[in-house]
Amino acid sequence: MSLLLLACSCSPVGSTPQSESESESESDSPVDTPVDTELEGPHIPSFELAQGFVPIGLGRAVSVQDVDGDGDLDVLSASSGMAQPGNSSLQLHLQNSDGSYTWATESWGLSYDLDLWGLVPIDPDGDGVNQLLMTGAGWSGIAGNHLLTLSPFGSVLEGAPRGACGDGASMGASVADFDQNGFLDLVIANGSAHEWGGCTDVLFNPGDRLQPSFQVGSGELQGFGTVSQDLSGDGFPELVVLGGTGCTIYQNAGEEPWFYLDDPDYRFFERVRTEEQDQNWPIASLTTVLLDYDQDGDLDVYVCSFGDPKDESLGDYQVLLRNDGDMAFVNVAPDVGAAIGGGCMGVGTGDIDLNGYPDLYLGTGGPEAHMASDNLLLLNSGGQFQDVATQAGVAWKGRTHGIEFADMNQDGHMDLVANSGGAMPGQEEGLRVALNQGGPYAGVPVVLEGPPSNPDGVGTRIQARTEQGNFYSWRIRGQGFASSNLGPTWVGVGDAQEVTVIARFPDGSTAESAPLSPPFETLTLRWEE
């Protein structure tokens, strides 16, 4: 096992609830018309806001999925505290046929007082049906997690399986098949800024349940964010955990007990934060995503750490670990335009312009009142990042946490979903879906049909082979601010004219498409036993 540490109001059913602050929030809404730009280089996307969203909340995670089975992607959002309309910590917005959204929290029986943080689908009994894992308490204290079965006839809420840590200050969660038995396992990060913070659980699935194994990271304040995927290329997923000490990458040894915590041959350590930074921000690292930023076929790691946006020294906290293979990682953030000045609370990744290179959207700033700042959209052009948020109309000021990229209105363009809100009443912000108005590039939306125990193909690498080279994307569940996306996985191919798509499932088996030409339609790739 390897370890790398881097500093790195209720309303009528079907209606949208109103609030006293709604008119004020609308006056501060982001630009909702296309924006022209004179910037040269990468294509600058422009966005319009989808209508019908509740404009307040102490926003945490988002989950994008087709909740009502009509073929359109809907949005579930988590909130912390009780400042949101409908007095619920979970909000559901269903997409209408015209692309607008309707608040449906009450009609679906989802009015809960739970103080939620993370939203990650998981199939705990291996029957091929997902439930929604909702992590709770987080920064606020100790509480149990919950599993939600969504149904228009009456949703069912129950307690989630407990790990070795017991009830914790749970925030992040991620899903992967660590032991390669065909059933998805679960990681829950139980970190906090307070005395109750501290451990990370791995729950293995032998085929019919999730059962606790051991505490992975029991260090003080460790366990805010997590993400899991194969980083070493051997088919066994690694585990990334963020906390007060930075970013820890645990290498999967490929055999029981899978993670060797004390063996120096399975542990790597590097420190990039100064002693002064440690004293000022001892609980910095918060969220992380995996992306192949340079499209070399290996997943890289971006670490997002909060702080004062006026403190330029915090640029050192934003770390992009280039994966050089053999569990060797190099921080290249300053070299590729990803080492932003100031802090970051939420991060999401996806190829917003479908040029083949994944981009980053950052919810900047920190939890204190003076730390609100403009969000950033780092557009990736051939492995170099450039902030275009202002030109694109998505430089929203506030504290954005849950972020996902998805084609929400199925027009062939990647859209942006963002859930925002601070840490206390008075810092209510908004849930937004920003619809991409298009561009010159193209991509292939891929639907995976995996084995019965993993029907969504979590952990699958998707390769697009083109005359311009290879482009890669991955099916990852639970990253950024414990958020998730059950829509198709997109792989951008730029202006390629002939594309073959290959899915490599977690068990090593592959499925390959016939050669494709633009315009590309949704492609389904199936696992075969």
Look up residue 395 and give its two tokens. Answer: 């430089």
Instruction: Output phi, psi for 471, to 5 deg.
Output: -125, 145
Q: Are strands 74-79 and 59-65 parallel, antiparallel or unpaired?
A: antiparallel
Specify whether the CB–CB gap between 222 and 216 falls below 8 A.
no
Report how far apart, in Å, the C-alpha atoms of 455 and of each of 199, 203, 523 are.
Answer: 30, 19, 16
345, two tokens? 């609370």
pLDDT value of position 17: 40
Residues 6+ apart with CB under 8 A from 41: 381, 386
Torsion angle defined by CA atoms of residues 329, 330, 334 and 339, in that order, rounded to the nearest 10 degrees: 20
| Average pLDDT over all residues of the chain | 83
For the chain, give the number of residues: 529
Give the residue from 488, 329, 344 showing the smallest Cα distance to 403.
344
What span, in angstroms and rounded, lies between the C-alpha atoms of 71 and 156?
22
Please state, in angstroms and rounded to a whole number, the distance separating the CA atoms of residues 450 and 506. 9
Specify the pLDDT at position 64: 98
Short-list 253, 254, 319, 252, CA closest to 290: 319
Tens place of pLDDT per residue across the chain (529 aa): 333 333 332 222 333 343 333 333 333 333 333 333 344 456 889 999 999 987 667 889 999 999 999 999 999 999 886 544 445 789 999 999 999 999 999 899 998 888 889 999 999 888 888 999 999 876 767 788 999 999 988 899 999 988 877 777 888 999 999 999 999 999 998 876 665 556 788 899 998 899 988 666 655 556 788 999 999 999 999 998 887 667 788 889 899 888 876 666 665 544 445 555 555 544 467 899 999 999 999 999 999 887 766 666 655 668 899 999 888 988 899 999 998 877 888 999 999 999 999 999 999 877 777 777 899 999 999 999 999 999 999 999 888 999 999 999 999 999 999 999 887 777 778 899 999 998 888 999 999 999 999 999 999 999 999 999 999 999 999 999 999 999 999 999 999 999 999 999 999 999 999 999 999 999 999 999 8
For residue range 128-149, what is the model confidence (pLDDT) as tens digits?
889 999 998 767 677 889 999 9
